[in-house]
Amino acid sequence: MIQQSYSIFRRNVPAVRLAHEIGKRGIALLEHADEFRESWLDTQISAKQVHELIDAIEAQPSVLNYCTPETIGRMIYMLMNTGDGWNFRDVQLIPSSSGILQYGPGRNERREAAILYLLQTLVTSKREYQEILEHIGPVTPGASATEKANRAEANQQQIMDFLDGRQKREFVSWLEDFT
């Protein structure tokens, strides 16, 4: 009887109901904590892999001469779409007039430079460039020529959108000279 009376009391007191609801939501959040942690770790691992790729490109560029256009396309995709994009190895902090450090140029400078290097030094023909563009992102087996051309055009625009400043101007200039 006492236990039954307490249950009725507990359900009817707003503060107790609120605390109970907060507790239920906290438990639900904790149930998903591992999922959030795994997702964050995947992002950190991916960002690390991108930096390792950039380091390899910078350290041994001659090895890239043996890469197929498909591989180059996948590398460009990885450089543009992997990780958090705000890894502090990419960011330069500069003092402002007020003396406070602010983000300066460099958010994705290493990624952008690596993409430009891959394109400017490894692309030798229009067909090879087309193949690279077709392999930036997921590839659909059995796609028609029109679908491949549309995908290549969209991927070229994705490169344009990713690059900024000096790298964008260099890419546009290279593209004009190349085509």
Q: What angle do CA 15, 21, 24 make, to 5 degrees?
A: 145
Instruction: Give the Å distances, CA to CA, from 110 to 6, 157, 159.
Output: 64, 20, 14
Stated pTM of the model = 0.65
CA 150/CA 161 separation, integer angstroms = 16
Closest-CA residue to 77 (of 147, 152, 145): 152
Give the pLDDT score at 36. 61
Close Cβ partners of 109 (under 8 Å, ≥ 6 residues apart): 90, 92, 167
Over residues 80-84, the mean pLDDT reads 70
**AA letter at 91:** V
**AA letter at 5:** S
Give the pLDDT score at 90. 47
Over residues 29-56, the mean pLDDT reads 68
With residue 95 as reference, give the H or E element that holds it.
strand 93-95
Over residues 69-95, the mean pLDDT reads 69
Mean pLDDT of the chain: 76
Domain ranges of the chain: 2-178
In this predicted model, which residue has the larger pLDDT, 133 or 37? 133
User: What DSSP character marks residue 93?
Assistant: E
Q: Hey, how many other C-beta atoms are within 10 angstroms of the C-beta on 171?
A: 20
Q: List phi, psi (to 5°) of 101.
A: -75, 135
- 101-144 pLDDT, tens digit per residue, is 444 455 578 889 999 999 999 999 999 999 999 999 877 788 88
Give the pLDDT score at 73. 92
Close Cβ partners of 143 (under 8 Å, ≥ 6 residues apart): 151
Contacts 24+ apart (CB under 8 A), 88-96: 89/51
